[in-house]
Amino acid sequence: GAGVSQSPSNKVTEKGKDVELRCDPISGHTALYWYRQRLGQGLEFLIYFQGNSAPDKSGLPSDRFSAERTGESVSTLTIQRTQQEDSAVYLCASSARTGKEQFFGPGTRLTVL
Amino acid sequence: AQSVTQLGSHVSVSEGALVLLRCNYSSSVPPYLFWYVQYPNQGLQLLLKYTTGATLVKGINGFEAEFKKSETSFHLTKPSAHMSDAAEYFCAVSLGDSSYKLIFGSGTRLLVRP
Per DSSP bridges, beta strands B10-14 and B56-58 are unpaired
Mean pLDDT for chain A? 92
CB B7 within 8 A of CB B72: no
pLDDT of residue B74: 97
Q: Are A62 and A78 in contact (CB under 8 A)?
A: no
At A86 the three-state DSSP class reads helix
Q: Would you place residue A55 in the very low, low, confident or very high pLDDT band (cuts 50, 70, 90)?
A: confident
Highest mean pLDDT among A4-8, B31-35, B52-56: A4-8
A71-93 average pLDDT score:
95
Check if B104 contacts A (Cβ < 8 Å): yes
**Whether the predicted pLDDT of B95 surpasses 90:** no
In terms of CA atoms, which chain A residue is nearest residue B40? A106
Confidence of residue A1 (pLDDT cuts 50, 70, 90): low
Alpha carbons A50 and A35: distance in angstroms, whole number:
15
Say if CB A61 and CB A47 are below 8 A apart. Answer: no
| CB-based contact B49:B95 (threshold 8 Å) | no
User: Mean pLDDT, to the nearest integer, of A11-24?
Assistant: 97
* Mean pLDDT value across residues B80-87: 96
pLDDT for B97 equals 60
Q: Which residues of A touch B94 (CB under 8 A)?
A: 99
Q: What is the per-residue pLDDT across B40-70, written as a single tens digit (0 to 9) for each?
A: 878 899 999 998 889 999 999 999 999 999 9
The partner residue sitting opposite B43, judged by closest CB among A41, A42, A105, is: A105
B36, B43, B100 member nearest A107 (Cβ): B43
Report chain B's mean pLDDT, rounded to a whole number: 91
Conformation bin of residue B47: beta by default, left when phi > 0, alpha when psi is -120 to 50: alpha
The answer for B 23-62 residues in CB contact with A (under 8 A) is 36, 41-46, 49
Average pLDDT over residues B101-111: 92
Sign, CA dihedral B54-B59-B64-B69, equals negative
Percent of chain A with pLDDT over 70: 99
Q: Are A111 and A62 in contact (CB under 8 A)?
A: no
Chain A residues within 8 A of B106 when measuring between CB atoms: 40-42
Q: B106 with B85: CB under 8 angstroms?
A: no
**Is the pLDDT assigned to residue B16 strictly greater than 80?**
yes
Whether the predicted pLDDT of B34 surpasses 70: yes
Contact list in B for residue A48 (CB cut-off 8 A) is 100-101
Interface size between A and B, measured as CB pairs under 8 A: 60
Q: How confident is the model at residue A58 (pLDDT cuts 50, 70, 90)?
A: confident
Backbone CA torsion sign across A25, B84, A8, A2: negative
